[in-house]
Structure 1
Amino acid sequence: AVLERNELVADDLISIWFTATPDLHSDFPAAAARGLGIVDVPLICAQELDIDGAMPRVVRILVHVETYLSRAEINHVYLGATATLRKDIAQ
């Protein structure tokens, strides 16, 4: 969804950083990206802080890209219930 909404392709990617909440432990988010064909981009996974009351089952993605889009033109993607985390920029 991040690539699609910003009209990006794999060649635009510099690197991707994934974080996941501690309750997600079945697979690495980077493995899913590799499965989508993102094979020659550095990927890293980390765990979110385990904070009481934090939204469970969340994967966050920080994507570094080469683009001509301005900051105002970037579409930040919040899927499902995560839209409540950043109502100011959620699409």
Structure 2
Amino acid sequence: MNNPMIHAIRGAICVQEDTKEAIDHAICKLFSQVLEANGLLERDIAFLLMTQTGDLKSRNPAAGLRSGGFCATTPLFCMQELEIDGMLERVIRIMLVANREMEKVVPVYTEGAEKLRPDLTI
């Protein structure tokens, strides 16, 4: 049986504070870790979906990635995370869709976001 060519890889990171610099640092770190953990190159990415909690207002994570030198030609789409009572604060979530054969996908939850999916945390 062949491995599928399309894979969705999830990840999340907690941002220390609501500043442009903190959001830029967090999204670039998360993106880099997802690529590294999965052995991907940017050219393997079909598109990237991102959400951020409503308490992060200083910067759009897509702008943060691009200012960090990433995703110049990758389609990016950002949305606000649903607001739910008791939700984890200052979180950026991603779903990266890779167009490449892979044996396994490795989700990345870091900087406090491990609480979101302890079942997927390494």
- Whether these two folds match at TM > 0.5 is yes
Q: Which runs of 5+ in 1 are unaligned?
A: none
What letter corresponds to residue 13 of structure 1 in structure 2?
A: I
Q: Identity of aligned pairs, percent? A: 37
Give the root-mean-square deviation of aligned CA atoms.
1.0
Query: Which segments of structure 1 move beyond 2 Å, counting only runs of 4 or more?
Result: none
Q: TM-score with structure 1 length normalisation?
A: 0.91
Q: 5, 14, 22: which one pairs with 2:54?
A: 22
Q: Which runs of 5+ in 2 are unaligned?
A: 1-32
Equivalent in the alignment of 2:70: 37
Q: TM-score with structure 2 length normalisation?
A: 0.69
CA distance in 1, matches of 2:83, 2:65: 24
Higher strand share: 2
Number of residue pairs the alignment of both structures matches: 89
Note the alpha carbon deviations across 1:25-80, whole angstroms, 9 max, x for none. Answer: 1001001221232110110110011111000000000101112113xx11100002
Residue 9 of structure 1 pairs with residue 41 of structure 2: yes
Greater relative contact order, per chain length (Cα 8 Å cut-off, separation 6+): 2
